Amino acid sequence: MVTLKPFAIYAGADDQTSLIVLAALLVCLIPTTIGALLSAIGIAGMDRLVQRNVLAMSGRAVEAAGDVSTLLLDKTGTITLGNRQAAAFVPVEGVTEADLADAAQLSSLADETPEGRSIVVLAKETYGLRERNQGELTGAAWVEFTAQTRMSGVDLDGRKVRKGATGSVLAWVKERGGRVPEDAAALTDGIAQAGGTPLLVAAEDTAGARVLGVIHLKDVVKEGMRERFEELRRMGIRTVMITGDNPLTAKAIAEEAGVDDFLAEATPEDKMALIKREQAGGKLVAMTGDGTNDAPALAQADVGVAMNTGTSAAKEAGNMVDLDSNPTKLIEIVEIGKQLLITRGALTTFSIANDVAKYFAIIPAMFAVAYPSLDKLNIMGLTSPESAILSAVIFNALIIVALVPLALKGVRYRPASADRMLRRNLGLYGLGGLVAPFIGIKLIDLLLTLIPGIG
């Protein structure tokens, strides 16, 4: 306003008229388009999450989802169906299947995981072992499964039985000076290379500690996961599978599913270390979790999605809560974030191009009186300075109304690299932003000429 006042005096306009003109000029020159649409874009992004039963604690979390470059996905329930079940008992040499089944069932009575319950059922249905419960075994000291020990079992009548991850059980046997049969490694490797999960069963009694055999757990990769990961790869997102399985099993599942990398035999501390390592490299990380052990990692991640069935600590640590408790939804959340990012980029490109074209369209017509040489730039042939300003003000209001539906619906997102999306935005929305003001302002100017006192 201050800088344009001398131009009005130079043009010979009276004070009252010049103030009105300058106020109108300020309104039509302010880049209002993107400023008016940013809130609508953010609200639409959060609304799309709500439609998928995901609650975002803040708009910043939704925006961060669009910038995610590393996705940490739990294997069980996200990449696989999550109904991992015991399929067979494979004893080592010198141990019968019945003895292995008995020890496996006994060591799983304190394991409330689906895998633990399936071991108890398999021992009963396949080997005719009566299903026991913890209450009837007096004097038993139960060892419950935890993410840290990755092992469960029982101490009963001078005998100790353990079942769990290969590394944990082997360490337990070696600590007690026990022996590991030569064929144990071959059995576990064979199951792992087939994509199954091997669990070792060991016991300690008066004869010492020893490995009894292997439990074969089976799970299935969800249909279409390879294609989903390929889409994420085209977006520039690196996927990492997190699993408690041994490296051989993890590698087999990772290759079948098509993920970029995997973290085997992972503990909550390993997750935290991985997130910090990725963030130190300038990457934004997204992950899911449901347990108290996951809370630190959820809080550290840029996008932490807690399951509604999870603990209060996990839900408080994350910045989103999935009411359906579906870990696979993390991929959809990232896609919604990407769509929000692309929509904002597209409309920003349109807004900048629109403002540049608008200035070029109306400024020559407005200042041609003071600077006659500018009349050559009035390629639109606007009727008068008053008509130019009024046409631009009306166009400003109409273009915001026209773009609100696009901001709410979002620009259709197609998996592509950042460079390709930038070229698409510049080509489509940049060109549209340049053309729209010339057509819109000229049409409004023609209509205004029909109004007495303006034309």
Q: Which residues have a catalytic role annotated?
A: 74
Q: If phi over 0 gives left and psi between -120 and 50 gives alpha, with beta otherwise, what is residue 381?
A: left
- Phi, psi angle pair for 286, to nearest 5°: -120, 145
Pair 302, 68: CB distance under 8 Å: yes
List beta partners, residue 86. 217
CA distance 194 to 249: 8
List beta partners, residue 56. 320
H or E segment and range at residue 214:
strand 208-218
Rg of the chain over Cα atoms, rounded to whole angstroms, equals 33
Give the chain's end-to-end CA distance (angstroms, integer): 26
Tokens encoding 261: 């990398």
CA distance 227 to 231: 6
**Residue for token pair 């005998």:** 159
Sheet (strand 303-307) strand order: 54-56, 320-322, 303-307, 285-289, 70-74, 238-242, 261-263
CA distance 253 to 247: 10
Pair 225, 74: CB distance under 8 Å: no
| DSSP letters for 336-389 | HHHHHHHHHHHHHHHHHHHHHHHHHHHHHHHHTTT-GGGGGG-TT--S-HHHHH
Residues 6+ apart with CB under 8 A from 264: 243, 244, 245, 246, 247, 249, 250, 251
